[in-house]
C-alpha cells in the first residue's frame, strides 16, 4: 500500500470514528438541555460527509451514526433485560446491539438514497450481471468514485488522473467479454447504466482539470 493510499484509509477511518462519536454524544442533550446544539452539530457533520460520499459510503456513515446514537440512548434496555428480565449479560448486550444496528438500517438507507439522488448516478442492478466482468467494472467504478471523492475537493488533479489507470484493463476485459447492446432490454439498460456511472466520474475529473488549466496553478 502506498503512502497516499494509507493516508486515504486513515482519513476515512478517522471520519467514521468522528461520525460514531457525534452520534453517541448527541444523547447528552437528552439529559443536559444546555447541550441542545450537539444533535445539530452531529446532523450537520453527517450531512457534510454524506454530501460528498458515494451511496455505499453514505449508507455506512448513516449506519454508524444511527447505531452509536441508539446505542448510547437505549443502553438502559440492558438493565431491563438483564436485571429484571433475567437474560444472561451477553445475551442482553447482543439483543440491544442488534436492535440498535437493525433500526439504524433505516438511516443507512436514507443516506444512500440521498447520495444516489444527489450524485445523479444511474441505478445498476447487480442481480442482472451475467458476466464476472460486469461485477468487476461495477466494483472498480465504485472504488474510483470513492478515490475521486477524496481527491477532487482538494484539487489533487495528478493523483485523480493516476487513479484512472487500473480502469484501463478492467474496461478492456469488459468490452471483450460483454455485449452491451444485447437483446434483453433490462440487461442492456443495466449495462448502459453501468457505463454511464463511469462516464459521469470521468466528466467530474474533466471539469476539474479544465478548471486547473484555466485558473493556473494555485
| Residues 64, 49: Cα–Cα separation, whole Å | 13
Cα atoms in the Cβ-side hemisphere of radius 13 Å centred on 120? 7
d(CA 140, CA 168): 10
pLDDT one-digit tens code per residue, 23-64: 999 889 888 888 888 888 988 889 888 877 778 888 999 999
Share of the chain above pLDDT 70, in %: 88
pLDDT digits (tens, 9 = 90+) for 119-162: 566 678 888 899 999 999 999 998 898 888 888 778 788 888 88
How far, in Å, CA of 134 to CA of 177, rounded?
Answer: 9
CA 48 to chain centre: 12
Round to whole Å and give the CA distance between 154 and 124: 29
Task: Indicate the pTM of the whole model.
Answer: 0.57
Amino acid at each position: 500500500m502506498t503512502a497516499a493510499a494509507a493516508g486515504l484509509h486513515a482519513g476515512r477511518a478517522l471520519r467514521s470514528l468522528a461520525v460514531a462519536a457525534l452520534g453517541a454524544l448527541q444523547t447528552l442533550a437528552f439529559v443536559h438541555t444546555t447541550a441542545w446544539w450537539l444533535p445539530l452539530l452531529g446532523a450537520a457533520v453527517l450531512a457534510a460527509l454524506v454530501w460528498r460520499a458515494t451511496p455505499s459510503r453514505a449508507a455506512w456513515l448513516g449506519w454508524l451514526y444511527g447505531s452509536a446514537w441508539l446505542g448510547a440512548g437505549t443502553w438502559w434496555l440492558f438493565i431491563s433485560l438483564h436485571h429484571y428480565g433475567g437474560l444472561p449479560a451477553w445475551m442482553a448486550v447482543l439483543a440491544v446491539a442488534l436492535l440498535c444496528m437493525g433500526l439504524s438500517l433505516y438511516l443507512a438507507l436514507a443516506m444512500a438514497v440521498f447520495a444516489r439522488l444527489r450524485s445523479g448516478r444511474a441505478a445498476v442492478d447487480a442481480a442482472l450481471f451475467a458476466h464476472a466482468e460486469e461485477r468487476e467494472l461495477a466494483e472498480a467504478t465504485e472504488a474510483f468514485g470513492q478515490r475521486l471523492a477524496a481527491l477532487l475537493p482538494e484539487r489533487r488533479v495528478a493523483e485523480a488522473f493516476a487513479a484512472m489507470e487500473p480502469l484501463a484493463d478492467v474496461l478492456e476485459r469488459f468490452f471483450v467479454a460483454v455485449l452491451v447492446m444485447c437483446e434483453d432490454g433490462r440487461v442492456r439498460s443495466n449495462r448502459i447504466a453501468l457505463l454511464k456511472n463511469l462516464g459521469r466520474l470521468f466528466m467530474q475529473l474533466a471539469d476539474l482539470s479544465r478548471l486547473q488549466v484555466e485558473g493556473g496553478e494555485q
